Structure 1
Amino acid sequence: MITWKRTAGAAALSLVALLAGCGGSDDDDTPASPAPNPAPVASRPMELTILHINDHHSNLDSKKKDLKLLNAAGSRVTVNAEIGGFPRVTAAFQALSAQAPNVLKLHAGDATTGTLYFNRAGEPGEADAALMNTVCFDAMTLGNHEFDKGDSGLKRFIELLHAGTCQTPVLSANVTFGANSALNPSRAPDMVKPSIVLQRDGQPIGLVGLTIANKTQQSSSPDAGTLFSDETAAAQQQIDALRAQGVNKIVVMSHIGYDYDKRIIPNLSGVDVVVGGDSHTLLGPAALSTYGVGSPAGAYPTELRNKDGKLVCLVQAWEYSQVVGELKVSFDANGDVTACAGTPHVLMGDTFKIGGAAPAPADQAAIVADVAASGFLRVQAPDAQATAVLQPFKAKVDAFSASLVATVPQELCSRRVPGGPGSRDYGRSSVACNTLGNVSLHGGDIQQLVAQAYLEVANANYGGADISLQSGGGVRVPLLGNVTAANVIEVVPFGNMLWRLDVTGAEVKSMLEDGMQAVYGPGGSTGPYPYAGGLRWDVNAALAQGSRVSNIEVRDNASGNWLPLDLNRTYKLFVLSFNATGGDGYKTLANVPAARRQDIGVLDADVLQAYIDKQARDPVSGLPVLNLLPISLYSTKTYSE
């Protein structure tokens, strides 16, 4: 029988149970601090199972996804299936926990921010906390987005997380809360701990939390006095303290990103396992791509060596409640890892569609067999209790989606590409819009407004930007009259996150030419046409590749003056993840190195809604009014073809 206990103070290794945990287990935790006379522990070999998620970002509902699965003829065809959703996460944790003796259930950060569940379903983070408590995690590390509502907002989220019986410990070794912070230890002792010790089968296991420092300081909203220290130094300090207590099995819960994890592991002594987050990294076999799940960045687990030359197992579980990672770790009597293996379980339903219809019986049988043979696709029924917990929050989100959020007195016309009668995108705009003619000269009003929204909200809420970029085809519908929250999502329906890239002026010019080539080059289409906030230019579509854009100007945020683009200056670009990774032919952005790109992690529709909320309100309806932007802000100054 496994005994899990919760202890406190330097007596962590005395194995005295003080509190009962949740989910039928008693979990021991204590912050690491050197004990003057640590109790002796008889270390012995053990097998540990770590179940984990990260970066679910308020994605609590399932979603539809096209997979590539074998039909009866042995061909891979597009099959639509339901993927993920937090009730499936809960069910998978329960099922996998029941199959292993020594289990840790971990969340590696960024539980919040990303869908309407975060801020339109009750208090910010309330729905996430409620669903997380259906899993009853043994620990969570703080991600950068846990600070999006400031230290007080984070404190309230932790209070919501601790409202039930689970009392999930919240960890971060490299945060120091300011003197006036609601989370300063003088006001909230032990609400956030640097590390804890858990017991599994009588063996102490140390858990250390890390939060990505620069990104959180610059792009989230921690209080002014709250600081984040170097991740490597903070981790090593806690590892050393744990080992001084006799703890020889160390798991770092790291919300710093896969590439950063790979860089710091060789510089850490005493670390055994790193459970990662922040970079939304899919790990696993190459077959994940074959099956249409996604392109894995590495193996699950990724094996590295620490500073001592000993084996370290690194894992991450993708994003958005779609994957539950299952890591099996073997420790010898010295607490060193001898082997690790595991599975990134992609959670899915058992209803399949081909071309919108149910598969023929033979195809259905082949699909079911192919799913089973994959080794990572896991058909998982949602947990009934978690579904019931989600329901009242879902009702609030549905009600908000139908609510009025803005009014538009003059149509915000949609047009991907400028041009007069007979041009390739002329018919996309309404007759009224084409009669007015601005869309023919400067492009779509709604496209331009979305780009401007990104820029203004970046400067208000997310650490600032000089310019923004939006592909014309990524903005799907015009707006006129009363606008619901659902209409806002229809404008930008693809669920992209916003990134910030540091780009040179030369790269800005190249970026714009990439967009033009994707429109006017061989096989081009209208969707990639660039719209920008804080940036404008002249277009001659008839010119050769690399020469279509000229007279590029950047608007100075402070003065409002337009200045020539400086090819040697570095600009902060706020852009969708889709374009930042090369989507719509933006090759220049895809080649920007990792050191100059940052995933802000906020959803495009949330940014647009934040912009709407800041607009002046109609005196009668009380709704924000969305007006046409001044022509001077349109990114296409002049257009010829």
Structure 2
Amino acid sequence: MFPSRPLLVATLCSLLFACQQGKEEHSFVLNIAHMNDTHSQFDPVNATISNPALNVDGNKQGDTLYTRFGGYPRLLTMTKAMQADAQRQNQALLTLHGGDAWQGSGYFKLNEGMANADLLSQFGLDAMALGNHEFDLTNQKLARFIKAVNFPVLAANVDTSQDPDLKAATNLKPYVLFAFDGNQKTPVANLENLPAGKQIVAVVGLVLEDMPDIAPNTGKLHFAKEVATAQATIDNLKAHGVNKVVLLTHIGNQRDLDLAAKVNGIDVIVGGHSHSLLGDFSNLGMGKSATQYAQMVTNPDGVGETCVVQAGAYAEAMGEVKVTFNGQGAVTECDGNNTLLASNDFYSDAAHQHPLGDDQHNKVTSFIDQQHNIERVDEDARLRGVIDSNYKPALEKAFGKVIASVPTDLANPRRPGDDKSDEHGSDVAPLVAESQYWWSNSAPVQAVIGKPVDIAITAVGGVRASIAAGEWREGDAALTLLPFKNQMSVLSLKGSDLRALISETVTATLPSGSHAGKFPYASHLRYTFQETDAGKAGKLTQLEWLNHNGQWQALEDDVRYRVAMNAYCANGNDGWDAVYRAQQQPGAERVDLALVNGTLTAFPVTALQREGDKAIASYQGQALDCKADGVGCGTDAAAFTDYVRSARSQLTALPDETVTLLRHP
């Protein structure tokens, strides 16, 4: 691993770029600086670190301190430092982004990707994978983003030929080639005419083959199979003499590992999508990932090996990996780590009201500077100025009035057990489900739908943020927490449908590195899931609902319950197939709820059918068109805002846990 680098960095110097002594004459060392799933996180996010060494005098929180991680300006400082080190040491370096720059903050909501185009173009990126959230708007707006950035966007398994907006996007490519001579890096435009005497590296993009099932707007694009595309592309590159291949993916860590085991010839996979902060962060109280950073996977030929990396999410960390190739282009070494990018400010309270004194601060910084996986990093002053001048004023105005206080941080790990969480997981997703239950049963909504709702359930992937201690404002829900403008749905489901939904979605998230956005959290429904075969299988051992008399009772398979959820889930997206299947049977009785010129309106659903991978709802009478003037489909965010304003002026975690995931010993 890499030595600690105790700097408040403007420059970094690590062994990452050290000259390789004693290597065979024709070996080649490629350094890769990488980030992924930055999700428009221009500002740093609140974070905690825990270690007995942090129990300084006067620290009432014991072993835990509070700081901030990441943000684009801090990420840029780290990127520039690594690029400068590579240049000084005359070492080959690629700077890569694993996709999902879009979505995740109010900046994106207000600027629709173009602020990202502005800021990311200052990073010196060599390529970015096309993430699923890059499809959250329209292909026309995606094409605008792709044209505006100064680096290529990659997706080898996407056919754009039938899409009117992206078919002419020349900056969307299947792969790019670079010729290296030390630190000198030259793009190669012609695979048929590779320059002699240079080290040729291909960077191939790969995206989700099931993108239409996950992303809301994929237009007329066609997504080919991941394994077949990867193998065919690599075979073609190898046939032309390219023997060093980096796969830049946005499919999730588990699928990266599977891909490496099914495809020959991949040297490195730089991934995204599953938000996997690979490595051991137990020294900071953050646990250890099940898959190690720079995991080596044997290819199906039994000879080749692929090195797999990923760098978390939300611009909190940056990955750095050093890959050594022999003269035949085979990987002989792959080593590196993720580094959390910390502020130099530390507090004893979650609300950041009580900074440490000088002596305490010095002890904490001394501890951090001895760690290999966290760095105190200054923000890039110029980029911070651009954000604060060009983008922050509009964001501050959009957040509006304060409607609640948040005494302590509320975490939002997707899967129980992730990110230091216990077997109950997220504090935030149950609050979202509770808000949907409360809102659906409120008098204005009941005046429209006429029947009480029994249960609410939500997929955690639609809940896009943790909730930091401090103030909660009326714009927070729509801008950051629930930004997808989903309408609320109420439908009738059998207990057996809910049982199948929970069993299927939880089971799908058990493998290490799996995309856990489909994981279900609920209100007025509680369950316990016992994993019986590590990473593969388990069973529901408890499934109960809280009836309208306030009593918990077993969910009955043949009884119908009125269930609130957002329409994305109600359409059966992202693995919620049980809900889709239920609506193919009589009795589902679904209604969608949206605002029409400010008036809450019910849109009864008469049918739900799949066209390709996309579920399309048909309506009785007037169709619901979320793009029409005067139509507001963001009733999921409105529900949370109404709930907080009316019932939760002190926004805290719910007192009762509704989800328990017991992992296999």
Does the pair score TM above 0.5? Answer: yes
What's 2:140 paired with? 152
- Distance in 2, matches of 1:271 and 1:43, equals 23
| Secondary structure of 1:282's aligned partner | coil
What's 1:173 paired with? 156
Distance change in 2, residues 1:218/1:469 (3 Å):
closer
What's 1:585 paired with? none
- Does 2:43 align with 1:61? yes
Q: CA deviation at 1:446?
A: 6.8
Q: Deviations over 1:13-63 (max 9, x none)?
A: xxxxxxxxxxxxxxxxxxxxxxxxxxxxx9931111100111111111112
| Secondary structure of 2:29's aligned partner | strand
Q: Taking every aligned residue pair, what percent have the same amino acid on both sides?
A: 26
- Does 2:100 align with 1:103? no
Q: Deviations over 1:59-98 (max 9, x none)?
A: 1111221211423669961111111100011100111122
Distance change in 2, residues 1:490/1:106 (3 Å):
closer
Contact 1:540/1:548 (8 A) holds in 2? no
- Distance in 2, matches of 1:246 and 1:512, equals 50
What's 1:49 paired with? 31
- Give the alignment of 1:424-573 within 5 angstroms: 447-449=437-439, 468-469=457-458, 486-489=473-476, 504-507=497-500, 538-542=547-551, 546=554, 551-554=559-562, 570-571=578-579
Distance change in 2, residues 1:134/1:627 (3 Å):
closer
Q: 2:214 aligns with which of 214, 219, 223?
A: 219
Q: 1:200 aligns with which of 170, 180, 183?
A: 180
| Secondary structure of 2:257's aligned partner | helix
- Does 2:120 align with 1:132? yes
| Secondary structure of 2:172's aligned partner | coil
Contact 1:177/1:183 (8 A) holds in 2? yes
Q: Deviations over 1:525-566 (max 9, x none)?
A: xxxxxxxxxx998344446x6479995424799xxxxxxxxx
Q: 2:317 aligns with which of 303, 323, 340?
A: 323
Distance change in 2, residues 1:393/1:468 (3 Å):
same
| Secondary structure of 2:31's aligned partner | strand
- Does 2:296 align with 1:303? yes
- Given residue 239 of structure 1, which amino acid in structure 2 is its aligned partner? I
Distance change in 2, residues 1:371/1:572 (3 Å):
farther
- Distance in 1, matches of 2:343 and 2:331, equals 35
Q: Deviations over 1:574-616 (max 9, x none)?
A: xxxxxxxxxxxxxxxxxxxxxxxx9xxxxxxxxxx99998449
Q: CA deviation at 1:319?
A: 0.3
Indicate the RMSD between aligned Cα atoms, in angstroms: 4.6
- Distance in 1, matches of 2:282 and 2:30, equals 29
| Secondary structure of 2:328's aligned partner | coil
Contact 1:138/1:168 (8 A) holds in 2? yes
Q: 2:260 aligns with which of 241, 262, 265?
A: 265
- Distance in 2, matches of 1:627 and 1:612, equals 23
| Secondary structure of 1:233's aligned partner | helix
Q: CA deviation at 1:450?
A: 7.7
Contact 1:503/1:571 (8 A) holds in 2? no
| Secondary structure of 1:149's aligned partner | coil
Q: CA deviation at 1:260?
A: 0.5
What's 1:115 paired with? 105
Contact 2:104/2:480 (8 A) holds in 1? no
Q: CA deviation at 1:385?
A: 2.1
- Given residue 469 of structure 1, which amino acid in structure 2 is its aligned partner? T
Q: Any stretches of 5+ residues in structure 2 without a counterpart?
A: 1-23, 182-197, 404-432, 446-454, 464-470, 490-494, 504-519, 529-543, 566-576, 582-612, 614-625, 644-665
- Distance in 2, matches of 1:616 and 1:264, equals 38
- Given residue 271 of structure 2, which amino acid in structure 1 is its aligned partner? G
Q: CA deviation at 1:362?
A: 3.9
Q: CA deviation at 1:196?
A: 1.2
| Secondary structure of 1:128's aligned partner | helix
Q: CA deviation at 1:488?
A: 3.6
| Secondary structure of 1:225's aligned partner | coil
- Distance in 2, matches of 1:258 and 1:298, equals 9
- Distance in 2, matches of 1:381 and 1:144, equals 31
Contact 1:112/1:118 (8 A) holds in 2? yes
- Given residue 141 of structure 1, which amino acid in structure 2 is its aligned partner? A
What's 2:354 paired with? 357
Q: CA deviation at 1:468?
A: 3.7
- Distance in 1, matches of 2:242 and 2:273, equals 27
- Does 2:277 align with 1:282? yes
What's 1:390 paired with? 387
Distance change in 2, residues 1:141/1:571 (3 Å):
same
Q: CA deviation at 1:469?
A: 3.5
Contact 1:346/1:377 (8 A) holds in 2? yes
Q: CA deviation at 1:141?
A: 1.1
| Secondary structure of 2:348's aligned partner | coil
| Secondary structure of 2:318's aligned partner | strand
Q: Any stretches of 5+ residues in structure 1 without a counterpart?
A: 1-41, 162-166, 409-442, 456-465, 475-483, 520-534, 558-568, 574-597, 599-608, 618-623, 630-641
Distance change in 2, residues 1:239/1:71 (3 Å):
same
What's 2:244 paired with? 249
**Aligned residue pairs: how many?**
448
Q: Deviations over 1:137-181 (max 9, x none)?
A: 0011101111222321210111221xxxxx201110000014242
Q: 1:372 aligns with which of 369, 374, 381?
A: 369
- Give the alignment of 1:535-614 within 5 angstroms: 538-542=547-551, 546=554, 551-554=559-562, 570-571=578-579, 614=631
Distance change in 2, residues 1:611/1:279 (3 Å):
farther
- Distance in 1, matches of 2:386 and 2:81, equals 19
- Distance in 2, matches of 1:272 and 1:451, equals 55
- Given residue 538 of structure 1, which amino acid in structure 2 is its aligned partner? N
- Distance in 1, matches of 2:641 and 2:62, equals 48
| Secondary structure of 1:208's aligned partner | strand
Q: CA deviation at 1:444?
A: 7.8
Contact 1:57/1:111 (8 A) holds in 2? yes
| Secondary structure of 1:98's aligned partner | helix
TM-score (norm 2): 0.59
Q: CA deviation at 1:105?
A: 0.3
Q: Deviations over 1:499-521 (max 9, x none)?
A: 99x994325699899956699xx
Distance change in 2, residues 1:497/1:305 (3 Å):
farther
Contact 1:172/1:210 (8 A) holds in 2? yes
What's 2:78 paired with? 92
- Distance in 2, matches of 1:222 and 1:490, equals 22
- Distance in 2, matches of 1:470 and 1:232, equals 28
